[in-house]
Amino acid sequence: MRRKSSLLTASPILFSPIYLNTENVSTGKLLALYRFANLFFPKMGSNLVNTLLDMEKHSERLTANSSPEDRRKLIREMKGLSMKMQCSINDEEENMMDISVNIVPSEVLERVQQGRNDLIEYQKLSKDFDELISQLITKEIMRRFTAKVTNYFKGFWKSQQVPSFITQLLDMGWIDRNGQLLKGASIDELLTGKYHKQFEQLMPEELLQEGMQIRETIKTCFEISQEDADSLIWDAKKRHALLEITIREANKP
Amino acid sequence: MEDLRRLIYVPILHAQDDAKHKASSLPKNQKIAKELSAVDEMWAGIAAKIEGLNLPWKQTRIYQDGAPVCGNELTLAKRLAESGSPNFSFILDLINKGATLEGTEDMDLLIQEYDLLNKLLMKSSGTNQKAKNAEYHTKSRELLALRDQFILNRITGTLEKDELPIVFMGVMHRLDKMLEKDFLVSYVIYRLPFRSIGTIYNA
């Protein structure tokens, strides 16, 4: 299934759509891709993204060296020009990601000249990127945990007497005869939900603990990444209170 | 070639009772109970994992986010634990086992952070508040980089030979990446550095 992020609805002046096929992406592949890109196109990826983000956030600074007259001249000269950069990544012919950047230079400069430095748009885009990445990381961690669980399940198939819970999972279509956890299986239901007790009896304590930590870490980090302005203020108040105690106590003779 | 020294890194969420105010459709009491329990579980998970490491406590030096170099680090830790910080309560447990708490942060930088928070928390109109939030994000990130640099120097400068460092740092810090040059960093819980797009490229 192709996931379309909200970047699709962003103003196309500076950014164009990013399509991400989350079903076909893992952080392992992204990391390999990143390493490859670093070897053969050093700094290109980071510079490209940083330039795009900087354009939104620090456009005034970037153009500060040119005089207002130069900028007006540049705007006139660039009228009608547009830049398109297309990047497609495929995994065995299956499309993983499309990044299509569309920049209209005169629009960018006009916005700077009018002082419309769109911080809100920047924050929105930045947040969207974070959410995309967090989804990939969640998926990858769940994949790794699934692999561990599968290893244990495989072991049960080799034993003389297969535990009834394993047979039940097979009947439910959650695992196959190789012990492989299938798509319909819910790790949440196993760890904390309906099948928690049976799962706990079969799995070693260490694995359960790891699963819980992964689950809680993801959950809490998601909450953080989805923070709104109110929670920023609330967090700031708590940190402020802690620092107040710290500064007062630390300065006591 | 000399072997890298081991360093235990615990990425922490600054979640005390603050998490309870995050948006949710649950009724307030239920929400508080649920989220407090998540925070408790997180700290219980960290404690269990650290316990399982069987660290040589008498040779363990603790470096803690928000703990300044001030000469009365222990009193301060006690005071913060009393104020309800599960993080500092846990640090006290480790001190009782024999670990040493080291002053970690530059007081001046913490004061700068406090001033920044003061500015953010001053009342203002909706539009101004948005601009203030954005300004806070930018400046706090710059300050964080300075704090990380100070902490790095502090760790390398105070750690005795044969001592094991354990570092408790908020998830927003990028100190772990800086430490990798001098130490073999072992994480106690999973590191999820996805808060900022920059982290992908600096990874």
Alpha-carbon distances, residue A115 vs A69, A181, A247 (angstroms) = 15, 55, 39
pLDDT tens string for chain B (203 positions)? 556 789 998 877 654 443 333 334 445 455 455 555 556 666 777 888 888 888 999 999 999 999 999 999 999 999 999 988 888 999 999 999 999 999 999 999 999 999 999 998 887 766 677 778 778 877 888 899 999 999 999 999 999 999 999 999 987 788 887 898 899 888 776 443 333 322 322 22
Q: Which of B179, B189, B154, B185 is nearest to B61 (CA)?
A: B154
List chain A residues with CB under 8 Å of B190. 141, 213-214, 217
Pairing mode, strands A18-20 and A94-103: antiparallel
Instruction: Please report the pLDDT score of residue A203 as a whole number.
Output: 84
Instruction: Please report the pLDDT score of residue A1 as a whole number.
Output: 37
Q: Show the DSSP H helices in A90-228 as ranges.
A: 105-113, 119-158, 164-172, 187-191, 196-202, 205-225
C-alpha–C-alpha distance, residues B68 and A243, integer Å: 10
Helix axes A44-57, A119-158, angle to 10 degrees: 140
Phi and psi, residue B140, nearest 5°: -70, -30
Residue A94 is encoded by which pair of tokens?
Answer: 């299956």
List chain B residues with CB under 8 Å of A141. 190
Judged by a CB distance cut-off of 8 A, whether residue A213 touches chain B is yes
Give the CA dihedral A131, A133, A138, A144, nearest 10 degrees. Answer: 180
Instruction: Please report the pLDDT score of residue A135 as a whole number.
Output: 66
Nearest CA in chain B to A117: B131
Within 10 angstroms of residue A212's Cβ, the number of other Cβ atoms is 17
Position B181 in a domain: yes
Tokens 């660290």 locate to B55
A76 Cβ neighbours under 8 A, 6+ residues apart: none
B177 Cβ neighbours under 8 A, 6+ residues apart: B202, B203
Residue A78 is encoded by which pair of tokens?
Answer: 């660039």
Q: Show the DSSP H helices in B21-167 as ranges.
A: 28-52, 73-82, 86-97, 107-121, 126-158
Position B182 in a domain: yes
Which residue out of B22, B25, B83, B135 would a mutagenesis test of the A interface target, given it has the greatest number of A Cβ atoms within 10 Å? B22
Position B120 in a domain: yes
Instruction: Please report the pLDDT score of residue A62 as a whole number.
Output: 55
Position B37 in a domain: no
Interface list for B 86-105 with A (CB within 8 A): none
Return the top range by mean pLDDT from A50-54, A102-106, A223-227: A102-106
C-alpha–C-alpha distance, residues B158 and B160, integer Å: 6
User: What's the pLDDT tens digit per position in A113-166?
Assistant: 665 555 555 566 666 666 666 666 666 667 767 777 888 888 887 777 888 888
Instruction: Please report the pLDDT score of residue A116 as a whole number.
Output: 54
User: What's the pLDDT tens digit per position in A13-42?
Assistant: 444 445 556 566 665 566 666 666 666 665
Position B44 in a domain: no
Position B171 in a domain: yes
Average pLDDT over residues A163-181: 84
Average pLDDT over residues A181-194: 78
Position B153 in a domain: yes
For chain A, give the mean pLDDT. Answer: 69
Beta bridge partners of A19: A4, A98
Tokens 């911080």 locate to A119
Domain assignment of residue B143, given as a range: 5-15+56-189
Counting every residue written for chain B, the total comes to: 203
Sign (positive/negative) of CA torsion A106, A112, A115, A118? Answer: positive
Beta bridge partners of B131: none
**Encoded amino acid at A69, one letter:** E
Residue A251 is encoded by which pair of tokens?
Answer: 């300065």
User: What's the pLDDT tens digit per position in A32-90?
Assistant: 666 666 666 655 555 555 555 555 555 555 566 677 777 777 778 878 777 776 777 77
Q: Give B11 or A242, the one with higher predicted confidence.
A: A242
Instruction: Please report the pLDDT score of residue A244 as a whole number.
Output: 92
Beta bridge partners of A84: A102
Judged by a CB distance cut-off of 8 A, whether residue B187 touches chain A is no
List chain A residues with CB under 8 Å of B38. 216, 219-220
The total domain count for chain B is 1
Position B20 in a domain: no
Coil, helix or strand at residue A42: coil
Phi and psi, residue A66, nearest 5°: -100, 145
Under 8 Å between Cβ of B186 and B7: yes
Interface list for A 161-200 with B (CB within 8 A): none
pLDDT band at A186, cuts 50/70/90?
confident
ipTM of the complex: 0.80
C-alpha–C-alpha distance, residues A17 and A9, integer Å: 8
| Interface touch B197/A49, C-beta < 8 Å | yes
List chain B residues with CB under 8 Å of A250. 68, 70, 72, 76, 107
